[in-house]
Amino acid sequence: MTSLKRSYASSTTPSTTLSSKTYLRTLRSGKVQKVVRELYLRQDIPCSSQLCSTCIDLAPAGFHGKQDPPVLSATPAGTTQYPQGHYLVPDTNAFLTAMDLFEAEDAARDVIVLQTVLEEVKNRSLPLYHRLIALTKNEGKRFYVFFNDFRLETYVTREAGESINDRNDRAVRKACSWYGSHLQDAVKARQSARCPAVVMLSDDRENLRKAKEDGLIASGLQDYVSGLPDADRLLDMVAASRDQRATRDEKAKMVYPEYMSMSAMLTGVKAGSLHQGTFSVSPYNYLEGTVHVPAFDRPLIIQGRENSNRAVSGDIVVLEVLPKDQWKAPSSKVIEEDDLTKNENAENEDESAEGVVTEKERRALQEEVKRAHGKVAEGKPQPTAKVVGVIKRNWRQYVGHVDKDSVRSEAKQSRAQQTVFLIPMDKRIPKIKVRTRQAGDLLGKRVLVTIDSWDRDSRYPVGHFIRSLGELETKGAETEALLLEWDVQYRPFPKSVLDCLPAEGHDWKVPADTADPGWKGRRDLRDLLVCSIDPPGCVDIDDALHAKLLPNGNFEVGVHIADVSHFVKPNNAMDKEASLRGTTVYLVDKRIDMLPMLLGTDLCSLKPYVERYAFSVLWELDQNADIVNATFTKSVIRSREAFSYERAQLRIDDQSQQDELTQGMRHLMMLSKKLRAKRMAAGALNLASPEVRIEAESETSDPVDVKTKQLLDTNQLVEEFMLLANISVAGKNYSAFPQTALLRRHAAPPKTNFEELANQLKVKKNLELRSDSSKALADSLDTCTDPSDPFFNTLVRILATRCMMSAEYFCSGTQAYPEFRHYGLASEIYTHFTSPIRRYADLEAHRQLAAAIDYEPLDASLQSKSKLEAVCKNINVRHRNAQMAGRASVEYYVGQALKGRVLTEDGFVMRIFSNGFVVFVPRFGIEGLIRLRDLGGGKEVESVFDAEEYSLSFGERKVELFEKLKVRIEDEAEEGTGKRKIKLSLV
Amino acid sequence: MPREADPSNNEREFVLSALRENVRLDGRAFDQFRDVDLAFGEEYGAADVRIGKTRVMVKISAEVVTPYADRKFDGIFTISTELSPIASPAFEVGRQDQTEILLSRLLEKTIRRSGALDTESLCIIAGQKCFHIRADVHVLDYDGNIADASCLALVAALMHFRRPDVEVHGEDVTVFGLREREPIKLQMQHQPFCITTSYFDGGEVMLHDASLLEEQCREGEVIISINRFGEVCQISKYGGPPIDGLSILTCTNMALEKAKMLDKVVKAKLEEDEKKRDKGGLMAELRADNEREQG
Amino acid sequence: MPLDSSTYALAHLRVDGRRWKELRRIHGQMSTQAAADGSSYFEMGNTKIICTVLGPRQPTKSGGRDQSREAIIEVEIGVAGFSGMDRKKRSRNDKRTQEMQYTISSAFASTVFTSQYPHSTITIVLHVLSQDGALLAACINAATLALIDAGVPMQDYIAACTTGSTASYASNDEDADPLLDLNGMEELELPFLTMGTSGGEDKVNVLVMETRIQMPRLEAMVSVGLDGCKQVRNILDGIVREHGKKLLSSR
């Protein structure tokens, strides 16, 4: 048998020499692979200096015959140290520590980036690698990548016992020395005198020493920079970036603490040594979370990645309270994840030297602590805890976008899996590591992901990509994104719902024959002069009203509500779907219906001029608007007119209109004012939340302007009677079903909620806010005025609203009667009855009321406390989500309306942090954070934060809480969330 | 092993000499397809394709399974092909023959490797639950050109199919029945079609959609998979007499035209099917997101 | 992790230091296994193949009364467990392997004068010792050498190589360079095709592509491929002549 010995002679191309490279690679799975690769060492890689004439024709052209011109200047800039001009050859650490320096417009030109260095940079930090690549494409900077490991003369094999770092350092030195002699030859050939120095930049002492030994020109970063003009400014860049990496070399493999076992947690919670609650992360500081637990009146604080131990906002966690000496004050600083972690690598996290808690994050929090110890007022230490386990994950699907910098290869073809970071739109959610093959396709898209797991040794949770919603910032994608983000069911109704709709479809009519079963138990109210008053363009009309003067001087007032329960029978497919959706969601330009359109906008809707089934509440009210008696009945009505608030107001005010319908409306107006006065006297709160309206161009429906919503008397008219109806129905339902009535309560806020606001008002304005009862609060809110500024009162009301609890649906059997109270409305009992088309709670109330008046028997599901509780829980969540989605939609549209505009508006300081402050702009109903860093053009500004005085001084400026100031409003596509956001800045 | 009867020498000569005079036995132009008919079944994901007498049926099904350990973030997509005696006496039950292997590789490369179906979107919880989409390709009648027919049927079926909706909350998964919630379309990244060009006389004569007889007489074939954007997903010229490099490029250009044609057929049929399913326009009533008039 | 193909644009250098139109080192030997009728050993970079040819001989399969008027070419490919980066056993019935076998068999069926050996079988056995890209191409080249060694009459060599393209299918990068002879790492990242030529100028015998690519890019790839095949053919020719010389001189 012939031997299979290799014939090295038969190399294919004469200019190359074959070498091979063998290395070991550890895979994610822990498996070790041995990789053998060929290397073709060549001599036709140019030095790319314009000085050199031999290299010019060296490099063969590509397929298209294009040849790259030499990059490095023939006359590079000189410095005091290198007056003859110089080329820089930085090592890996130089790039890692001082990328800012290299990016500076006026420094560091003519740089040779060695292949060895480039590879190392890529391994250490992808984002920095991308920045470096961008530099090589910047023609003015003249960065040239020299493939030293492919050039025969500069190739270095790793010697036995040599560490990979040492080998790379040696490769850098070798390349420097080759460049040095190569240039000398080139200069000689040109017979010119000036030969630029090849300067190796490194901070590694050993490397520098060896370079000197070899007779190379080498310099430390600092020394080099000091020789440059404008050294002070540039030195700052080096120094700033250097101490960020102080402990980089310590290989601290840290993992998150292990969770306790479920049984240990349950026992602990039972025994009171542990606490259970829902984890929520501060929107301003991603490293701080709070949990409300019954045992403490103030929320427990959880600070830092290690203490929050893999809990994600929304999870139900078990906590252990830390010893008192470790208690902290709530953070007064804005910390954003993106600022601290943007240079991390998604791919090989374990290769980075740091543990779960990065040095940067630790420092960010430490500064915090220092401050907390110094000042006492706001910074009173609060109970602080750490997460020891998670009872229930509340992970959902998250909308976000792929972090551009974490993508290794943007090639769309590449089928190789990469790990990339997904940055969720919701700032409280940490970055998610996602493995995907479609990284290239997903860039610049809104995508949907879920979290799959979060292991102890992974700094970030791991998830997977579900689908792309479309390009960032397109209306479709952004709308879908916010619907998903707030878990709004926007998909079509399932087909089974079709079977639940009346077969007649849009042709359905109230039967003409009153003997029809539909008429059974209904009162014929068709002769009443009923009308509806709604926002303009409303198509799902829930309610209509009428009033007439009775012979005895009292008034008959009727509130007629769409009879949805006639069409939606309990427990059929449509009912199930509606109970799941819980509410109709109103976005600026869209309505996500709870019920199919056929019902919502046609058959149920109390449209004018047609007969409709209704559920009516009829009162006899006396001149003082006190209730003489109330009756509830199913009915048939015919609305005479559908007014908008504005038109109704005009009609009432127009004294030439004397017809009966208008008279009725005037009665309603008169009565509503009395009702309102009574309610206010009882201590109902008049709270404010900023509401704006988007003006859109009628054709394109592109938003063009933002207006604050105007409130008319007719708004209050409708509101008062709806409240009255709700209260009456609540009483009726409760008396009929004391255990299972579906009611709505608004708990009195705990005193501590108002402490901060009261203190702020006291310190800044010397005003007193009392919160012992809703009446006291209402009265003291009226006194919180600033004569010089009418808006101040509204601002206080907005802030007060945020201190409140949120109202909730509940089942009467689960609370004691005193707990039924609706704090904001100052009513003993309350429910929702008046909008069954768009709220599921109202539909349930209808069913209960129908049973209470013996119209029809009550479905079993409405008699079961546990089932009702489940319904309440769901609709409470849906209700909240719907509000949030609505707000997010407004926010998006405000952003679109302001797109490309720069405006200056009045703003008010709402909240002060140690490194920024929040400003509210009433004109657009927006609030935005102004960070000191943005004011200082990217750098932290020297500032003094006084937590006691609620003020922040920086430079000449001092910003105080509640201060009115001018801000500039621009729109900006936010890097972090990919959202187009309003950016505020001080004028 | 039973074989398709080879055509006699006379028959072969007849076909070839006709072709040399630019005539196909069934009177078609060289690049003309036989009538392409596509029908969808009652259920989602059943497609029935007829090209002339060749008939292929594809059925897609989905189930929830555990993903492969080494592909935690992907769902599973498998294509199985079956050539049974139903199609032709040449095919035996239970025995994989050359044609079947080549066909399944072809579909594999065209649809799976080219990433036509996004398998990442089939993942429910990484490493624990994912969808397994299974495509069963049955050749019911064999009169040549089963590659093109199978591929067309497969793409159409995938586009027609809807998988059940799922909801993940924390670590719980709910799979909804087809009536409970509108099922979800599969995420198709692109729709590639297979176009086979048969050649005779060293590439002098090129035919599309060869019938069985023409296939038996041909020298060789070039199978190209391409989508309507002109992205070639696969080319197979397994041996056979050599042809010009240039004519392969010509083949690709012609294939693009045909792929656009097939793409239109599928789109039109899908639309038709959609309409049929929308009983009397009631589907519009089921829309939940509706324009809101702005005030 | 070393750099990947995305750095190509920086200096027109590939991951292993080659330029776009350079083949890897190719090495071939003939008559390596004395026991076989014909044999060869072939390397394209780190892809290493041993090929043996048996026959033409009587069909070995029992009972098969072969009526054919032409020789049948059987191909068996065995992939050694240690050939890849991971030790993995690939079964003979793997569809991908079967497809390769079919491709090689039908490629040679039209090049070998099969009609000279009715009722007989030529068996080509390929052992893959090491894989680093261009597997099919290396198999074809190895088989060509082994068939010549076995003295089977053929019209021409079949010379094969792979070509790829630097840019992916969707980015409309007009500067995309076609690449010749991809190694294993490049094959994972870039679109590529395998091409085999025989029978004179620009005649394509085998063309297999499995990755997605934009149509306009094909043209450059095919033309570079044809050029590459010509280079491979010359190398094969050199090997055969060298071997012939050795044979003659040893006589």
Give the pLDDT score at A880. 92
Q: Which residues of C touch B108 (CB under 8 A)?
A: 95
pLDDT tens digits, one per residue of C166-199: 865 444 556 678 899 998 888 888 889 999 998 7
Contact with chain B for residue A415, Cβ under 8 A: yes
How many domains does chain A divide into?
Answer: 6
Contact partners, residue A650, CB within 8 Å, separation at least 6? none
Q: Which residues of A touch B283 (CB under 8 A)?
A: 492
CA distance C206 to chain A (A): 24
- Structure-derived torsion over alpha carbons of residues B277, B282, B283, B287, reported in degrees to the nearest 10: 180
Best mutation site among A393, A491, A508 for testing chain B: the one with the most B CBs within 10 Å?
Answer: A491
Taking CA atoms, what residue in B is nearest to A413? B114
The values of phi and psi at residue B183, to 5°, are -70, 165
- Between CA A871 and CA A838 the distance in angstroms is 15
CA distance A461 to chain B (A): 12
Domains annotated on chain C, with CATH: 8-250 (3.30.230.70)
The stretch A185-205 carries a mean pLDDT of 82
Give the pLDDT score at A162. 85
The stretch A626-634 carries a mean pLDDT of 93
H or E element in which residue A576 lies: helix A573-581
pLDDT tens digits, one per residue of B70-94: 888 888 999 999 888 888 888 877 6
Q: Residue A300 belongs to a domain with what CATH number?
A: 2.40.50.690
CA distance B38 to chain A (A): 26
**Position A523: which residue type?**
R
Contact B258, B228 (CB under 8 A): no
Q: Residue A187 belongs to a domain with what CATH number?
A: 3.40.50.1010
**Position A929: which residue type?**
L
Average model confidence (pLDDT) across chain B: 88
H-type alpha helices, C130-214 = 135-150, 184-189
pTM summary value = 0.81
Given a cut of 90, whether residue A427 has pLDDT beyond it is no
Query: CB neighbours (10 Å) of residue B282?
Result: 15
Q: Which residues of B touch C99 (CB under 8 A)?
A: 101-102, 105, 238
Q: Which of A152-166, A609-623, A972-986 has the lowest mean pLDDT?
A: A972-986
The stretch A371-378 carries a mean pLDDT of 44
pLDDT tens digits, one per residue of C64-93: 555 677 888 999 999 988 888 777 776 667
CA distance B194 to chain C (A): 13
CA distances from A981 to A888, A891, A904, A976, A984 (A): 11, 8, 16, 11, 10
Average model confidence (pLDDT) across chain A: 82
Question: How many residues belong to chain C?
Answer: 251
Band (pLDDT 50/70/90 cuts) for residue A3 is very low
Average model confidence (pLDDT) across chain C: 86
Classify domain B9-165+182-274 at the CATH class level.
alpha beta
Strands B205-208 and B193-200: antiparallel
Give the pLDDT score at A888. 87
Contact A607, A544 (CB under 8 A): no
Given a cut of 80, whether residue A939 has pLDDT beyond it is no
- Tell me, rounded to whole angstroms, the distance of Cα C240 from its chain centroid: 16
Whether residues A386 and A267 share a domain: the answer is yes
Band (pLDDT 50/70/90 cuts) for residue A346 is low
A961 lies in a domain? Answer: yes
CB proximity under 8 Å: A 527-546 to C: none
DSSP state of B108: I
Band (pLDDT 50/70/90 cuts) for residue A47 is confident
Q: Which residues of A touch B72 (CB under 8 A)?
A: 435
- Tell me, rounded to whole angstroms, the distance of Cα A623 from its chain centroid: 51
Higher-confidence residue of A706 and A779: namely: A779
The stretch A597-613 carries a mean pLDDT of 91
DSSP characters over A464-520: EEEEEEEETT-HHHHHHHHHHHTT---SPPPGGGGGGS-TTGGG----SSTTSGGGT
- Under 8 Å CB pairs connecting chains A and C tally to 139
- State the burial class of residue A802 (Cβ atoms within 10 Å of its Cβ: 0-12, 13-18, 19+): exposed
The stretch A40-69 carries a mean pLDDT of 78
Contact: C27, A122; criterion CB under 8 Å: no
CB proximity under 8 Å: A 647-706 to B: 693-694, 696, 701
Give the pLDDT score at A734. 94
pLDDT tens digits, one per residue of A256-297: 888 888 888 888 888 888 999 999 888 888 888 889 888 887
Contact with chain B for residue A30, Cβ under 8 A: no
A868 lies in a domain? Answer: yes
Give the pLDDT score at B245. 86
Give the pLDDT score at A356. 55
Contact with chain B for residue C155, Cβ under 8 A: no
Strands A462-471 and A397-402: unpaired
**Position A112: which residue type?**
I
Encoding tokens for residue C96? Answer: 């991908």
**Apex CA A226: angle with CA A224 and CA A227, to 5°?**
70
Strand partners, A151: A42
Which among C95, C209, C213 is the nearest to B101, CB-wise?
C95
Band (pLDDT 50/70/90 cuts) for residue A250 is very low
Whether residues A345 and A402 share a domain: the answer is no
Encoding tokens for residue A723? Answer: 């409240």
Angle of helix A573-581 versus helix A865-897 axis, rounded to 10:
60
Whether residues A402 and A437 share a domain: the answer is yes
Best mutation site among C8, C22, C43 for testing chain A: the one with the most A CBs within 10 Å?
Answer: C22
Percent of chain B scoring above 90 in pLDDT = 51
Whether residues A135 and A217 share a domain: the answer is yes
The values of phi and psi at residue B59, to 5°, are -130, 130
Strand partners, C41: C29, C50
Give the pLDDT score at B99. 86
Band (pLDDT 50/70/90 cuts) for residue A248 is very low
Band (pLDDT 50/70/90 cuts) for residue A15 is low
- Between CA C23 and CA C159 the distance in angstroms is 13
Give the pLDDT score at A374. 44
Given a cut of 70, whether residue A451 has pLDDT beyond it is yes
Q: Which residue has the tokens 């707000």?
A: A887
Query: CB neighbours (10 Å) of residue A579?
Result: 22
- Between CA A811 and CA A234 the distance in angstroms is 67
**Nearest CA-CA partner of A432 in A450, A408, A455:** A450
Whether residues A606 and A673 share a domain: the answer is yes
For chain B, report the end-to-end CA distance as a whole number of angstroms: 78
Q: Which residues of C touch B98 (CB under 8 A)?
A: 102
Encoding tokens for residue A743? Answer: 């009611």
Band (pLDDT 50/70/90 cuts) for residue A352 is very low
Contact: C207, B102; criterion CB under 8 Å: no
Give the pLDDT score at C124. 95
Taking CA atoms, what residue in C is nearest to A39? C16
Give the pLDDT score at C167. 65
Contact A615, A849 (CB under 8 A): yes
Domain of residue A99 covers 76-243
Contact: B288, A491; criterion CB under 8 Å: yes
DSSP characters over A681-735: HTT--------EEEEE-TTT--EEEEEEPPP-HHHHHHHHHHHHHHHHHHHHHHH
Higher-confidence residue of A869 and B277: namely: A869
Given a cut of 70, whether residue A852 has pLDDT beyond it is yes
Whether residues A918 and A932 share a domain: the answer is yes
- Tell me, rounded to whole angstroms, the distance of Cα A188 from its chain centroid: 63
Which among A395, A441, A494 is the nearest to B181, CB-wise?
A494
Give the pLDDT score at A36. 81
Given a cut of 80, whether residue B280 has pLDDT beyond it is no
Higher-confidence residue of A748 and A11: namely: A748
Best mutation site among B71, B112, B286 for testing chain A: the one with the most A CBs within 10 Å?
Answer: B286
pLDDT tens digits, one per residue of A793-849: 888 888 888 888 889 999 998 989 989 999 888 899 999 999 999 999 999 999 999
Given a cut of 80, whether residue A702 has pLDDT beyond it is no
Band (pLDDT 50/70/90 cuts) for residue A344 is low
Best mutation site among C104, C115, C187, C212 for testing chain B: the one with the most B CBs within 10 Å?
Answer: C212
Contact: B253, C199; criterion CB under 8 Å: no
B45-54 burial: b if 16+ Cβ within 10 Å, else e: bbbbbbbbeb
Contact B44, B183 (CB under 8 A): yes
- State the burial class of residue B288 (Cβ atoms within 10 Å of its Cβ: 0-12, 13-18, 19+): buried
DSSP state of A583: B
Taking CA atoms, what residue in B is nearest to C160? B239
Q: Which of A629-643, C11-25, C28-42 has the lowest mean pLDDT?
A: C11-25
pLDDT tens digits, one per residue of C199-210: 777 889 999 999
Contact A587, A479 (CB under 8 A): yes
A50 lies in a domain? Answer: no
A570 lies in a domain? Answer: yes
B233: left (phi over 0), alpha (psi -120 to 50) or beta: alpha
Higher-confidence residue of A914 and A857: namely: A857
CB proximity under 8 Å: A 147-186 to C: 147, 149-150
Q: Helix, strand, or coil here: A321?
A: strand
- Between CA C129 and CA A268 the distance in angstroms is 62
pLDDT tens digits, one per residue of A288-338: 888 988 888 778 888 888 888 899 988 899 998 888 888 877 777 777 766
Give the pLDDT score at B153. 95
Give the pLDDT score at A350. 44
Q: Helix, strand, or coil here: B115?
A: coil
Query: CB neighbours (10 Å) of residue A1?
Result: 9
- Under 8 Å CB pairs connecting chains A and B tally to 126
H or E element in which residue B149 lies: helix B146-160
- Between CA A800 and CA C146 the distance in angstroms is 90
Which among A12, A64, A149 is the nearest to C23, CB-wise?
A12
Chains touching B (3+ CB pairs < 8 Å): A, C
A551 lies in a domain? Answer: yes
The stretch B230-255 carries a mean pLDDT of 90
Contact: A498, B282; criterion CB under 8 Å: yes
- Between CA A25 and CA B142 the distance in angstroms is 51
Given a cut of 80, whether residue B8 has pLDDT beyond it is yes
Give the pLDDT score at A363. 63
Q: Which of A14-28, A339-353, B24-38 has the lowest mean pLDDT?
A: A339-353
